Amino acid sequence: MSTERAPKGRDSGPAGGSARGAPNQTLALAAMLFAVSMTFIDQTIVSIAAPSIISELGLSSSGMQWVVNAYLLALAAFFALGGRLADLFGHRRIMLTGTLVFVVSSVLCGCVPRGDVAQTWLIVFRATQGFGAALMFPAALAVVVAVFPVERRGRALALFFGLSGALTAVGPLLGGWLTGWTWRAIFWVNVPVAVVALVLTALARIPPVSRRERLDVPGAVLVAVGMGLGVLGLQQASAWGWSSFPTWLCIIGGLAVLALFCRYELGVEHPLIKLRVFRDRAFTVDSLVLFFSMLAFVPVFFFASVYAQVSLSASPNQAALFLLYFFIGFGIASQWGGRILDRRGARPAMKLGAALGAAGFALWAHKMTDLSMHDQWPYAALAGAGIGFLLAPASTDAVNRSIGASYGEVTGITQTVRNFAAAVGMAVFSTVLTHVTTDRVVDTLTSKGVPETAAREAGRDIAQAVTGHADDRAPSGTGEGARIMRDSMDAIRMDFAEANQWVFYGMAVALAVAFLCALRHPGTRVTEEPAPARDVRAGP
């Protein structure tokens, strides 16, 4: 695959925006942002409403966890399929299909009846929500790539990733406000957003483009099973235990199925994923940078929020505002990263972003034991800036190197990498936080005279913060042990802060590895659109 291509004229086709009936780039970008905003907000909004849902519907804690995980599992399992379907049947068509599946599932989630069927109902339609998102997101990203010429693509996708990423922080704020009315509104709010996305898509005049190729159904099944098993094992590791047989059966079984998938794909005429794209060293480096940066980027929302609520005694809404420090840095730097990509290529932006991110997370971790939001905001913003600098350049550079303009397929690959990395990060860092918190709390309580058994039980209760159900309340009870625990809450908050230091130092290490990967990027730039495959069928 060529790594340096001759410049293409800005007005040579639909992407350039000069041909009659060409797509409206601004409306297309706005439409895709409205569409994907629902998928980002829904990753965090349900966790805020969880106590209200459990209370009204009588769900078990494990059942509620499955309501959250069903969405993420389906999202991870079907991303690659969604990207390929977008190439075969048209980016616009699959984006619209995914939006409709997502919003209908959202309405049904909000209409869940009370009774024994409630838990199954929510889990099923949360899974179909995830499937709709898996169809929608890679297709929406492919639309943005297709309508913007390569020389303007960096800034366009920087805006796409910057705004859509910032919407993840909106989830907790919006969830807290809507839950005050009814928790069902967190699902119904997707309806007006979807309507705006559909109207803007119609007005943007996005051309239908598809391919005459056969869908690789066995490959789709293999990658869905492999990703689903692997992510399931990682998600359930904290509940089942890292030493349990089901955990490793899912993880190893998932990896084995993915290995079988890779072997199968190499012998198929029209594979689900053209694995030869990994022969391009730049694409491989882009994928590695995305993987290691996503170990930190998605989990930071959860861990920073829980840290703020437990160690800083913040309310859920205050914790969401705490995350805005991170997103201020992220939003500003993402625009600079896009400009660097357009002018100098992906390598400088990825190196700068990974270095800043590693430094920011390390300094943020160091300040966590100060127990002050005011002291931490510069380092949270620096960590966000690091991710902002590299996210759009790595994603865009990878998409630019697609084979035969298979934008949907390549976005499916990169988004699968990102989701799998997020699942790994959540699982590993949750385990670290649980074990360190438990050990620190036990040491604190036993040093104050609490019996070892009671101290360990209290330690496990405090460590439940990693499930998102932590609060600021002191232990109940009237005995001497309970009194000592209540008097020790300040020390316990510090224990939790010290445990979070391990997590955030781990995130810094992940960004440092991303920096080492970025050094391997060849530094070449893509300055021309990839040649369309011979079997492309374009609409009028």
356 located within any domain: yes
Whether residue 4 is predicted with pLDDT greater than 90 in this model: the reply is no
Rounded to an integer, the average pLDDT of 166-181 is: 70
Whether residue 538 is predicted with pLDDT greater than 50 in this model: the reply is no
208 located within any domain: no
11 located within any domain: no
537 located within any domain: no
| Tokens of residue 452, six digits | 């070892």
The range of the structural domain enclosing residue 32 comes to 16-202
pLDDT digits (tens, 9 = 90+) for 84-131: 898 888 889 999 999 999 999 999 999 999 888 998 999 999 999 999
Q: Which residues pair with 209 in a beta bridge?
A: 538
**Predicted confidence band at 156 (pLDDT cuts at 50, 70, 90)?**
confident
> Is the separation of the CB atoms in 334 and 389 below 8 Å?
yes
> Is the separation of the CB atoms in 25 and 17 below 8 Å?
yes
pLDDT of residue 470: 40
Residues 223 and 313 in one domain: no
Residues 227 and 107 in one domain: no
User: What rounded mean pLDDT belongs to the chain?
Assistant: 82
Rounded to an integer, the average pLDDT of 334-356 is: 91
Residues 123 and 251 in one domain: no
pLDDT of residue 47: 67
pLDDT of residue 207: 82
**Predicted confidence band at 3 (pLDDT cuts at 50, 70, 90)?**
very low
| Tokens of residue 51, six digits | 């106590």
The better pLDDT of the pair 124, 209 is held by: 124
The better pLDDT of the pair 478, 446 is held by: 446
Burial class (CB in 10 A: 0-12, 13-18, 19+), 38: buried
Whether residue 221 is predicted with pLDDT greater than 50 in this model: the reply is yes
Q: In which region does residue 526 sit, left (phi positive, over 0), alpha (psi from -120 to 50) or beta (all else)? A: beta
Distance linking the first and last C-alpha atoms of the chain: 30
Residues 183 and 55 in one domain: yes
Residues 314 and 253 in one domain: no
Give how far the C-alpha of residue 109 lies from the chain's centroid of Cα atoms, to the nearest Å: 21
Residues 330 and 463 in one domain: yes
The better pLDDT of the pair 60, 392 is held by: 392
Residues 169 and 99 in one domain: yes
Whether residue 287 is predicted with pLDDT greater than 90 in this model: the reply is yes
Whether residue 23 is predicted with pLDDT greater than 90 in this model: the reply is no
pLDDT digits (tens, 9 = 90+) for 365-389: 999 999 888 889 999 999 999 999 9
360 located within any domain: yes
The better pLDDT of the pair 529, 148 is held by: 148
In percent, how much of the chain has pLDDT > 70? 84
pTM summary value: 0.80
pLDDT of residue 296: 92
How far, in Å, CA of 357 to CA of 119, rounded? 40
Residues 100 and 186 in one domain: yes
Residues 255 and 395 in one domain: no
Whether residue 488 is predicted with pLDDT greater than 50 in this model: the reply is yes
54 located within any domain: yes
Domain total for the chain? Answer: 3
pLDDT of residue 373: 81
Rounded to an integer, the average pLDDT of 331-354 is: 90
| CATH at residue 394 | 1.20.1250.20
Residues 333 and 462 in one domain: yes
Rounded to an integer, the average pLDDT of 185-206 is: 91
Whether residue 468 is predicted with pLDDT greater than 60 in this model: the reply is no
| Tokens of residue 114, six digits | 């009370």
The better pLDDT of the pair 150, 290 is held by: 290
pLDDT of residue 51: 73
The better pLDDT of the pair 171, 465 is held by: 171
176 located within any domain: yes
Residues 266 and 286 in one domain: no
Least confident of 69-73, 293-297, 489-493: 489-493
Rounded to an integer, the average pLDDT of 524-528 is: 71
Any idea how long the chain is? 540
pLDDT of residue 154: 80
pLDDT of residue 10: 36
441 located within any domain: yes
pLDDT of residue 146: 84
In percent, how much of the chain has pLDDT > 90? 31
- Per-residue H/E/C for 224-270: HHHHHHHHHHHHHHHHHCCCCHHHHHHHHHHHHHHHHHHHHHCCCCC
pLDDT digits (tens, 9 = 90+) for 501-510: 999 999 999 9
Residues 78 and 194 in one domain: yes
How far, in Å, CA of 233 to CA of 236, rounded? 5
Least confident of 80-89, 192-201, 254-263, 356-365: 80-89
**Predicted confidence band at 41 (pLDDT cuts at 50, 70, 90)?**
confident
pLDDT of residue 536: 42
